[in-house]
Amino acid sequence: MKNKVNCLKIFKIIAIIYAAIIVVGITCSLIFGLQLDINFKGGTRFTYTYTGDIDLAKAKTVIESKLSNQKVNVTTSEGLNSSNKKMVVTLASDKAVDVNTQTNILKELQNSFKNNKIEIGDSNSVNPTVAGSFFLKSLYAVLIAGLIVLLYVGIRFRKIGGLSAGVTALLALILDCLVAFFVCVIFKLEIDTNFMAVILTILGYSLNDTIVIYDRIRENNKLMPGSTLEERVNTSLSQCLGRSIMTSVTTLIAILTVVVVSEFFGLTTLRSFAIPMAFGIVSGCVSSLFIAVPTWLLWQNKKSLKKAKTKIKSNRKTN
């Protein structure tokens, strides 16, 4: 079988692309900053329902005038029913907004936009201390998931170098998480509970691809005893490439459909989930094929070279 894939050659190109993504992502993070949801930083969020069209800039000015000119973020979303619109007001503050202030804001909005039938939907406040604790717990969940991946892959593929297989699989997952994170930064999406759901989903999705390829390498070690390790790896990638791409494309089509729907109807909750998920699916496929496997191969080559040098030194001492 003639190999169509040279993993080490492609790895150099993919590594450069990921390095560029990281540089751009860090730069955008420094320029735009992070937009954390109130569940992670604390604050208050109001939701208002209205009809027709509203000038967001004017609405923001009206709301800030009732909050001692504190800065607020105002966004709108539209349901499947075009007459059902929502205005979401987010305020980052150490103190919750009292009921009287909320009532005054509603009255002022109703006076300023008399034809829009503005009504209060709901409101919630999160203490910054509680928010910080929740954020740390979310990070712990991701960290524990990563350690479980390392342990699971290390044990399952101990015959092909368990530690190296686990570490390189984890490396691919870290890159996938960074891609999803930087997408949120670049598209100015809030880092919220949706993001944590995206991360955990990507971990499972990307890991599945990596395990399939490692399993094929393990099988080819038995089926191709006279070949080099690189030949077996390239053959394994060639055998898994079509499956991985088709699976990713199928999943991506579904996610892109969600992206289109969220953009068309202004569904911000879906948007913050679907956009990083779409990029994460692509990254998961690429990193499994051309990050985890090539770095594992380089690790094994270095390990074999070290053994060979040790053996030569041992023979010299014996002679």
Q: Are residues 272 and 232 both part of a single domain? A: yes
Which of 76, 97, 126 delimits the end of a domain?
126
Q: Which of 14, 100, 1, 35 is nearest to 268 (CA)?
A: 35
118 in Cβ contact with 100 (< 8 Å): no
* pLDDT score for 1: 46
For the chain, the domain total comes to 2
CATH code assigned at 222: 1.20.1640.10
CB atoms within 10 A of CB 89: 22
* Residues 6+ away with beta carbon under 8 Å from 297: 7, 8, 229, 230, 233
Per-residue CA distances from 57 to 54, 75, 171 (Å): 9, 10, 44
Which pair of structure tokens corresponds to residue 175? 């890159």
Amino acid code (one letter) for 39: N
The answer to whether position 231 is within a domain reads: yes
Which of 126, 145, 170 delimits the end of a domain?
126
Residue with tokens 């609405």: 59
Q: Are residues 135 and 279 both part of a single domain? A: yes
* pLDDT score for 10: 94
108 in Cβ contact with 65 (< 8 Å): yes
d(CA 175, CA 292): 10
Q: Is the pTM of this model over 0.75?
A: yes
Q: Are residues 73 and 144 both part of a single domain? A: no
Domain with 61 in it: 43-126
Which of 126, 155, 175 delimits the end of a domain?
126
Q: Are residues 27 and 174 both part of a single domain? A: yes
Is the torsion defined by CA of 269, 251, 265, 263 positive or negative?
Answer: positive
All residue ranges of the chain with pLDDT < 70 are 1-3, 69, 78-84, 93-96, 319
Q: Are residues 172 and 271 both part of a single domain? A: yes
Q: Where are the alpha helices (DSSP H) in the chain?
A: 7-32, 38-41, 56-65, 99-112, 128-156, 162-186, 193-223, 229-265, 268-287, 293-318
Q: Are residues 86 and 140 both part of a single domain? A: no
* pLDDT score for 200: 86
Which pair of structure tokens corresponds to residue 33? 């900053």
